[in-house]
Amino acid sequence: MADVELAKHPLLQRPLQIFNLPAEIVDTLSIRTSALSPPREPTPPPAEDQRETSTSFACNVCLGATFVDVQEQREHFKSDWHRYNVKLRMSSKSAVTEEDFNGIVDELNDSLSGSASSDESDASSSASVSQLMKKQSLSRPTSDTEDYRPIAKTPVIWFQSSAVPVTQFGIYNAVFESSLTPPDYVEAVKEMQDGGEEGRLWTLFATAGGHFAGMVVRVKRPNFVEEEETGKGKKKKQKPKPDEMEVVYHKTFHRYTTRRKQGGSQSLNDEAKGKAKSAGAQLRRYGEQALRDDIRALMTEWSEEIDASERIFIRASTSNKRIFWGYDNNVIEKGDPRIRTFPFPTRRPTLSELQRCLQELTRVKISHLTDEALKALDDAYLASLPKPKVAPVQAPAPAPKPAAPKLTKEEEAERDRWRRVIDMIRKGRLEPLKAFWEREETTMGGVNALIPEWAEDNRGLKTLLQVACSAGQEEVVRWLLEEQHADPTIAIPSGVSVTNAKEDESDDESRPTALAGNRRTAYDLAPSRGVRNVFRRLAYSQPEAWDWLGDARVPSALSPEMEAAKEGKKAVRRKALKDRLQAREKEREEERKRQEEEERVRLAREREEEARRRAAEPALARTGPNKLGGANAPKQDGLAGLTPEMRARIERERRARAAEARLRG
């Protein structure tokens, strides 16, 4: 009932158009900013020493502003300092003191010196504040008392008017400028009521499926229309009729561009599936070209009206939009701020459809929602907004690495020598290593020189012998110990891990012995028995050279007799293993022959049984019924009706009997 009563309001008796709104509504119109916008955070209370006391007056916005009486406080509210702080507070920025404000104004005056004349002194106050706001990049409303909040990007902007209570007025956002702020929407609606001297023009284009419709409309006539007075030849100005829109131009045409029930233009189909060669495809391509030429020719004909249009509404697919721009002497530029799309679904492009779209764009939407219903809508919208994501805690930036010191040529050459010798040892390149060492031994400090810490690939090892043992290069280890007399007693650094390769369980004598403490030597790095035996042989042949069994951690010496004995034991084990393998092979061969003999005996027994069975059968049963063809019919040898497996088995038996007969003969 309430909606029916509101619909009977005198101002709502006729449909409202955005260009012909009643003056009562326009004068009291305001944008509904409480909807579709999240609540603002409350303004923090002023400091304790800045609050108003019982004996003085103060400003809650400006810092340190106190007054003797109300009149002085009111004068402060009109000052530039207060207005500037209000705008800062509305932009969620901190207020400034009077001294800071005066300094900002002085800087602004210095930059604008000489630009204002003496006649403009009365407007210097507001101009200074405006310039300051531009300098601070604060785009806020000009009102001092009204706090506007941003509205959501929705197709319809809602207004309200005190002239019509409990009523909301909706206007499509597409009819406004794209860069408007909330207070500017109200001013834009007021400007729409003014037709000016030429009126307001809109252009509407729509194309789809080969259909095109275009229209230029004067949505708002000029404020006055000159007409000649009959009989006197004079002209008088008359006001235009309200709600009257004039169609300046309109045009519709159609071309065959789309196959029936297929959808999509022929050009898109050619790009997706290749160029078709049918007659229909040729006609559709011609239709597309003709449609494009017709539209562009029409736009050239209407170019003056299109240039004068405030809005250009275009309904077209992404590919069809290239018809309207992107060619030589185009009328509409791509990215023109006047271009809009229809903010609602449209049907086939026809003149009547464009007229319906125009009515939909210019008609004011009216709803009658109470404060409770509006609050419920606001709460539902705010609940649908995504919650702000918590900013991830950024890890502290890593400390910059110190710049590598620049090396001299001598230092670079030294590092290159160490890299080369370590690489040759690890790869077991003994001959190149000998030649290199013969040339660079003195320069590198001898075979027992400690490897520098900066050397690459040393893995914490201290000597060349330790590197060779870790790499498992037996020949290099022998060369270092026998010819170069490398020291095997140098301990390994405590941080180096010792991971020996798989060891022979029977070679207990070559394993490193466990000594007190964690002291290890090159022998502990040997991954194979061959490398360890190099140490043990030298411990026997050169017992006085080093403390092999002590500091070098070699468990025992290895003499030639011990090696010969071990080799003899290995030969015995190998011979025993070979004999066992031969015996096993002989057993398998005998088993195979036994199975073959059993199979031969079984087959012979089966043949004898088959022969006795045939001998016992009557003659008629053996011969069977007469065959077609008489005695000259081909013989099947009794194989008719047998499976292929049985036939193959019988054939094998026959061949075996024939072979036995040949052997006996």
Check if 266 is active-site. yes
d(CA 383, CA 372): 16
Strand order through the sheet with 164-172: 29-31, 156-161, 164-172, 365-367
Token reading at 488: 């095997």
Token reading at 465: 């012998």
d(CA 84, CA 133): 8
Place of tokens 């300098």: 135
Strands, E assignment, 269-396: 309-315, 339-340, 365-367
Which secondary-structure segment (H or E) carries 160? strand 156-161
The catalytic position among 168, 266, 466, 473 is: 266
d(CA 185, CA 168): 15
For the CA atoms of 26, 187, 344, 216, the dihedral, rounded to the nearest 10 degrees, stands at 90
Q: Report the amino acid identity of residue 263.
A: G
b/e for 44-60, b at 16 or more Cβ within 10 A? eebeeeeeeeeeebbbe
Phi-psi bin for 496: left (phi > 0), alpha (psi -120 to 50), beta? beta
Token reading at 224: 């006055």
Three-class secondary structure of residue 555 per DSSP: coil
Which DSSP symbol is given to 631? G
Do residues 585 and 539 make contact, with C-beta atoms less than 8 angstroms apart? no
Token reading at 156: 């319809």
Which secondary-structure segment (H or E) carries 465? helix 464-471
Q: How many CB atoms neighbour CB 601 within 10 A?
A: 10
Three-class secondary structure of residue 228 per DSSP: strand
As annotated, the active-site residues are 266
